[in-house]
Structure 1
């Protein structure tokens, strides 16, 4: 019996799709696990004083942004643990993001300096962009690790989609730098939820023509797997 891998398998590996042990998480639940920690962060920052009134111990952490950071770290760890419990594997990009959250969140709380948590999106997005574009340089369309369960594309489709997302992640990194350095903390937190998320959704929808153009029909995909 083949041992279940800890991390998501390479989507270009035919065995990744035919492995009977492979589990897939419900798309809606996956969305909740990925966006849930961010919503916790936004709520805790916006309602920090309210939380302190009901849970006085939180006042030891400091201002709302620090309380939000601590809860963000906890929610991120819980989301990753839930992913592991449900599918016995860890999604690569949320895992990388989670590691950065924990490192920069810890620095934020330890040094009591909110700059670190503000830099987290810059680091994560720049890292994702570099990884995706770097993967293309070495002939790997790594975006399949993220969207393989949602899209079935041919090699050309994955290459083009990976290029677009790599550039988009770099754009998000630059955008985060501009926002947190130019506006208040509350504005930055709100922008993460009501700015970055809508921009990302619009960008995602804008890629649908490309996805439809390069999608692989189930029958064609099955034939391709047999040939391999």
Structure 2
């Protein structure tokens, strides 16, 4: 399935835009829930398929966002990124223990590195997701709501981009090493 950055970011863009103009985290959360389900519908209509991560994110924002709105308690929506990050970490770790390195399965068709290096890349991503979950909690409980919203929207995306580049450089260095050995 094609990844479309706009579709992936739609709920987050909506959340930030509503929050930025209203400073109302409950309204922004409600919009995020609606846009998450719209995102699912668009994926189904355009690509005929919905990815597991998109389903997971939609279910988490629906549950945690719904609890935020019902109980008028922003803690739930602030926990959602941590839960998502940690689910990603655990799923990468468990799949690797079961002999199915998800990162390798995703990229192996295009990149050739040793199984040991694929395991390292997988563990790097596990560590990244664990750290991101912890960082989200620190920012959520140590800073203002507005700082947390900015981190959620821009910081998380920025750190993900930087880490993707770092892991890409690691993979590139290992492919170069393999080519030199041949």
Is residue 72 from structure 1 mapped to residue 32 from structure 2 by the alignment? yes
Secondary structure of the structure 1 residue equivalent to 2:102: coil
Is residue 200 from structure 1 mapped to residue 174 from structure 2 by the alignment? no
Distance 2:92 2:146 in 1: 31
5+ residue gaps, structure 1, are 1-23, 50-63, 216-228
After TM superposition, where is structure 1 displaced by more than 4 Å over at least 4 residues in a row? none
Secondary structure of the structure 2 residue equivalent to 1:134: helix
Q: Count residues with an aligned counterpart.
A: 173
Name the counterpart of 1:179.
139
Query: What TM-score do you get using the length of structure 2 for normalisation?
Result: 0.86
Distance 1:181 1:113 in 2: 13
When the two chains are superposed, the root-mean-square deviation of aligned CA atoms in Å is 2.1
Query: What TM-score do you get using the length of structure 1 for normalisation?
Result: 0.69
Name the counterpart of 2:111.
153
**Greater helix fraction, Structure 1 or Structure 2:** 2
Name the counterpart of 1:39.
13
Q: 1:93 to 1:46 in 2, by over 3 A?
A: same
Distance 1:115 1:178 in 2: 13
Is the Cα contact below 8 Å between 1:73 and 1:105 reproduced in 2? yes
Is the Cα contact below 8 Å between 1:151 and 1:211 reproduced in 2? no
Name the counterpart of 2:56.
96
Secondary structure of the structure 2 residue equivalent to 1:140: coil
Name the counterpart of 2:124.
164
Give, in angstroms, the shift of residue 161 of structure 1. Answer: 2.5
Distance 1:80 1:160 in 2: 33
Distance 2:49 2:142 in 1: 39
Distance 1:205 1:115 in 2: 32
Give, in angstroms, the shift of residue 190 of structure 1. Answer: 0.8
Is the Cα contact below 8 Å between 1:136 and 1:163 reproduced in 2? no
Name the counterpart of 1:130.
90
Q: 1:147-179, CA deviations, whole angstroms, 9 ceiling, x for partnerless residues?
A: 55x972347254332221111111110000100
Distance 1:163 1:87 in 2: 31
Is the Cα contact below 8 Å between 1:161 and 1:207 reproduced in 2? yes
Secondary structure of the structure 1 residue equivalent to 2:100: coil
